[in-house]
């Protein structure tokens, strides 16, 4: 049996951040089901430049595939809106990462901080015994038992760890965005991300072109399958044809993104839930790297404090939820309400919004200005935003 203070399940950004935060102070073990961290990549790889400064992380040039200078929104009829400076920061897009190198880099930080990494190790279940947790896992064909004080669930969407600790992590399919993406070569693109909106293009979602190094790009789409007549790949192929992209596909990625907002409770006795396991992706953009990293740090800090005080009840671990809510809870709340409005938008609404943004001058507009404009087009949502626009 391997005994430790803190056991982290999952070595994505949330898990590795939790481990690197806690390892200098406690005995930390990370259990990761994959043999190669960062493979396959799970998203479009965009995140903010500011998250690294906030967390005091020195970025490795190998992690950054492309630095983004501005974003371009394209309406169904082709109206273009360019977002620069502060607007690009609000979108949390500043870097296009190489997720394979980035995720491995964060895991290496955790290992250097002292965490023991158990790769190709599948979490099987957990049981509480006298204020301690026994975790069963399997590495290759060998069963392993861990005994720990705090478990940090960073095992992604539909978290088994959360379920085992009595926290409902099931996502209603109505709130699960289906995504499909091609990494393509032969795509010449300026240092600009492009987001395409329209219900013919991406039902209740959007499509994107994110440039990477040299002539490669991530070309993808996210849709709500309950509102679409076809699977995501069908719409992605149509999108590639629509843009007349002549590049070649060198990688295919697919998966789901929770757009329901965070779990109602992200902590319990002896457990903290972080990142995608806690449904912390932004409901509008689907981006979740920055919230995963922040929640991982907060989970690591909270777990260390619990170990030092020998207090592992949910009453003491509740501090974790206070921390992440203070940092980005309002952002997720506003984004969820914004998504409810966007799901009601017709293609005409998207065109009108793009036209209005250009007429007003994007540099003069804040997020609340966009909310107010959207509410004018759909007054039935006014009450949902009353606390934000009053």
Sign of CA dihedral 310, 312, 316, 321: positive
Is the pLDDT confidence value at 104 over 90? yes
Instruction: Write down the mean pLDDT value for the chain.
Output: 91
Q: What is the three-class DSSP state of 49?
A: coil
The winner for highest mean pLDDT among 146-150, 155-159, 382-386 is 146-150
- Span 8-25, average pLDDT: 98
Phi, psi torsion values for 363, nearest 5 degrees:
-65, -20
Q: What SS3 class is residue 303?
A: helix
Strand ranges of the sheet holding 28-31, from the earlier edge strand across to the other edge: 116-118, 28-31, 6-9, 150-153, 271-273, 267-268
Evaluate whether residue 215 is within a structural domain: yes
Provide the β-strand partners of residue 267.
272
Residue 202, pLDDT score: 97
Mean predicted confidence (pLDDT) in 49-63: 93
Q: How many residues does the chain have?
A: 390
pLDDT band at 376 (very low <50, low <70, confident <90, very high): confident
Classify the C-alpha dihedral 292-256-236-202 as positive or negative: negative
How far apart are alpha carbons 350 and 133 in whole angstroms? 51
Question: How large is the greatest C-alpha to C-alpha distance in the chain, in angstroms?
Answer: 66
The answer to whether residues 222 and 242 touch, using CB atoms and an 8 Å cutoff, is: no
Residues 6+ apart with CB under 8 A from 35: 119, 120
Instruction: Tell me if 187 is assigned to some domain.
Output: yes
Residues 240, 273, single domain; the answer is no
Contacting residues for 288 by C-beta, under 8 A, at least 6 apart: 43, 257, 275, 276, 280, 281, 282
210 contact partners, CB below 8 Å, separation of at least 6: 44, 45, 46, 66, 96, 193, 194, 217, 218, 219, 220
The answer to whether residues 157 and 296 belong to one domain is yes
Nearest to 362 by CA among 128, 159, 39, 81: 81
Residue 344 binned pLDDT confidence (cut-offs 50, 70, 90): confident
pLDDT digits (tens, 9 = 90+) for 280-326: 999 988 999 999 999 999 999 999 999 999 999 999 999 999 999 99
Q: Answer yes or no: do 18 and 117 share one domain.
A: yes
The pLDDT tens digits of the residues spanning 210-220 come to: 999 999 999 99
Examine residue 52 and state whether it is found in any structural domain, yes or no. no
Q: Assess whether 25 and 162 both reside in one domain.
A: yes
The tens digit of pLDDT for each residue in 168-207 reads: 888 888 889 999 999 999 998 899 999 999 999 999 999 9
Q: What pLDDT, on the 0 to 100 scale, is given for residue 123? A: 98
Instruction: Pick the more confident residue, 174 or 364.
Output: 174
55 lies in some domain: no
User: pLDDT tens across 240-281, in order?
Assistant: 999 999 899 999 999 999 999 999 999 999 999 999 999 999
Same-domain pairing of 81 and 201: yes
* Residue 161 neighbours by CB distance under 10 Å: 27
Are the C-beta atoms of 81 and 370 separated by less than 8 Å?
Answer: no
Q: How far apart are CA 98 and CA 165, in angstroms?
A: 33
Judgement on whether residues 71 and 110 belong to the same structural domain of the protein? no
Full domain range(s) for residue 352: 336-389
With 70 as the cut, is the pLDDT of residue 388 above it? Answer: no
Alpha carbon 151 to its chain centroid, in Å, reads 21
* pLDDT score of 385: 56
pLDDT of residue 204: 94
3-state secondary structure of 238: helix
The last residue of a domain, from among 293, 311, 329? 329
Q: Looking at the predicted structure, is the pLDDT value of residue 89 above 60?
A: no
* Residue 300 contacts residue 20 (beta carbons within 8 Å): yes
pLDDT of residue 262: 96
For position 371, what pLDDT does the model report? 66
Q: Which comes out higher in pLDDT, residue 64 or 383?
A: 64
Over residues 157-177, mean pLDDT: 91
Question: Are 26 and 109 members of one domain?
Answer: yes
Instruction: Decide which of 124 and 260 is more confident.
Output: 124
Q: Which has the higher per-residue pLDDT, 137 or 388?
A: 137
Number of compact structural domains in the chain: 3
List the CATH number of the domain containing 84.
3.30.9.10
Instruction: Tell me: do 209 and 308 sit in the same domain.
Output: no
367 contacts 360 by C-beta, under 8 angstroms? no
Supply 342's token pair.
């966007």
Residues 309, 200 within the same domain:
no
Of 292 and 335, the one with more pLDDT: 292
Flag whether 106 is in a domain: yes
Burial of 364: CB neighbours in 10 Å, binned 0-12, 13-18, 19+:
exposed
Secondary structure (3-state) at 235: helix
Question: What is the pLDDT, as a whole number, of residue 375?
Answer: 72
In the predicted model, is pLDDT for residue 42 greater than 80?
Answer: no
């Amino acid at each position: 049996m391997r005994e430790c203070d803190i056991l982290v399940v999952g070595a994505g950004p949330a898990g590795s951040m939790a481990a690197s935060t806690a390892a200098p102070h406690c005995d930390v073990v990370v259990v990761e089901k994959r043999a190669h961290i960062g493979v396959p990549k799970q998203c479009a790889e965009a995140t903010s430049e500011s998250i690294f400064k906030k967390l005091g992380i020195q970025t490795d040039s190998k992690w950054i595939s492309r630095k983004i200078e501005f974003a371009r929104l394209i309406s169904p009829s082709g109206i273009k809106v360019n977002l620069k400076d502060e607007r690009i920061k609000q979108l949390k897009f500043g870097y296009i990462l190489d997720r394979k190198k980035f995720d491995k880099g964060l895991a290496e930080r955790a290992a250097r901080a002292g965490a023991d990494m158990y790769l190709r190790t599948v979490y099987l279940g957990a049981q509480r015994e006298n204020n301690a947790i026994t975790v069963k896992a399997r590495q290759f064909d060998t069963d392993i038992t861990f005994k720990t004080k705090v478990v940090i669930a960073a095992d992604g969407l539909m978290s088994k760890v959360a379920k085992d600790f009595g926290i409902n992590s099931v996502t209603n399919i109505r709130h699960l965005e289906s995504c499909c993406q091609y990494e393509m070569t032969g795509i010449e693109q300026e240092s600009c991300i492009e987001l395409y909106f329209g219900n013919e293009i991406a039902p209740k979602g959007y499509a994107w072109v994110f440039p990477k190094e040299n002539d490669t790009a991530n070309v993808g789409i996210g849709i709500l399958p309950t509102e679409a007549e076809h699977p995501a790949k069908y719409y992605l192929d149509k999108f590639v044809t629509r843009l007349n992209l002549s590049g070649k596909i060198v990688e295919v990625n697919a998966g789901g993104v929770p757009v329901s907002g965070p779990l109602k409770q992200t902590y319990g006795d002896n457990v903290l839930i972080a990142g995608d396991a806690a449904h912390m992706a932004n409901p509008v953009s689907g981006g979740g790297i920055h919230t995963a990293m922040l929640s991982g740090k907060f989970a690591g800090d909270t777990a260390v404090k619990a170990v030092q005080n020998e207090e592992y009840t949910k009453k003491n671990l509740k501090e974790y939820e206070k921390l992440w809510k203070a940092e980005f809870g309002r952002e997720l709340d506003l984004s969820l309400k914004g998504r409810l409005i966007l799901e009601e938008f017709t293609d005409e609404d998207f065109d009108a919004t793009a036209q209005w943004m250009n007429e007003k001058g994007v540099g003069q507009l804040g997020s609340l200005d966009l909310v107010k404009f959207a509410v004018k087009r759909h007054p039935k949502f006014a009450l949902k935003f009353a606390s934000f626009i009053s």
